[in-house]
């Protein structure tokens, strides 16, 4: 891709719903997405500056200065497998490290690619939420709870 890309703070835009709908089998509703643009959130997006197209976003809830939760990450299909999700996660972790803050997330137990990415950037699996996520087949899928915290300096 020859476009210049940048990570920037993200305010609500219908493009968020568009990316979510194109990236997720069971996308969040616009109402749920909009709720992540209220107080206690820091959200970031990767935009193509020349095309003005949102390629990816990350929504981060910060109820406490030292405890954050990655609520959602989505990458548009045409932008997948280009490192955008990893770039967004690393961006958030760099900010968290300066606080310092612990960062939590939940991921579908079947989402091996995401779990591998999160482990690559330093998350550890710390728990399981049984039957947490809905599925297309009216069953439920477990969520893996993961935690990242700034490595201790020696």
Q: Where are the domains of the chain?
A: 5-148
Neighbours of 148 (CB within 10 A): 23
pLDDT digit string, tens, across residues 61-115: 999 889 999 999 999 999 999 999 999 999 999 999 998 899 999 999 999 999 9
For the whole model, what pTM was predicted? 0.91
Strands, E assignment, the chain: 5-9, 41-48, 53-64, 67-75, 102-108, 124-134, 140-148
Q: Which residues are catalytic?
A: 106, 118
What architecture (CATH level 2) is domain 5-148? 3-Layer(aba) Sandwich (3.40)
Length of the chain: 154
All residues at 6 or more sequence positions from 12 whose CB lies less than 8 Å from its CB, including other chains: 33, 34, 37
**Backbone φ, ψ for residue 52 (5° rounding):** 55, 40
**6-33 average pLDDT score:** 95
């Amino acid at each position: 891709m020859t476009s210049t890309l940048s990570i920037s703070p993200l305010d609500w835009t219908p493009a968020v719903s568009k990316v979510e709908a194109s990236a997720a089998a069971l996308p969040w509703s616009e109402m749920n997405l909009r709720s992540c643009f209220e107080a206690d959130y820091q959200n970031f997006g990767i935009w193509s500056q020349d095309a003005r197209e949102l390629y990816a976003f990350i929504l981060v809830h910060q109820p406490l200065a030292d405890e954050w939760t990655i609520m959602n990450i989505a990458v548009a299909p045409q932008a997948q497998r280009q490192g955008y999700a990893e770039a967004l996660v690393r961006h958030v972790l760099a900010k968290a490290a300066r606080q310092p803050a612990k960062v939590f997330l939940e991921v579908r137990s079947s989402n091996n690619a995401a779990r591998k990415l999160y482990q690559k950037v330093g998350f550890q699996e710390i728990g399981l939420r049984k039957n947490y996520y809905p599925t297309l087949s009216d069953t439920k899928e477990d969520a893996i709870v993961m935690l990242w915290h700034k490595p201790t300096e020696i």
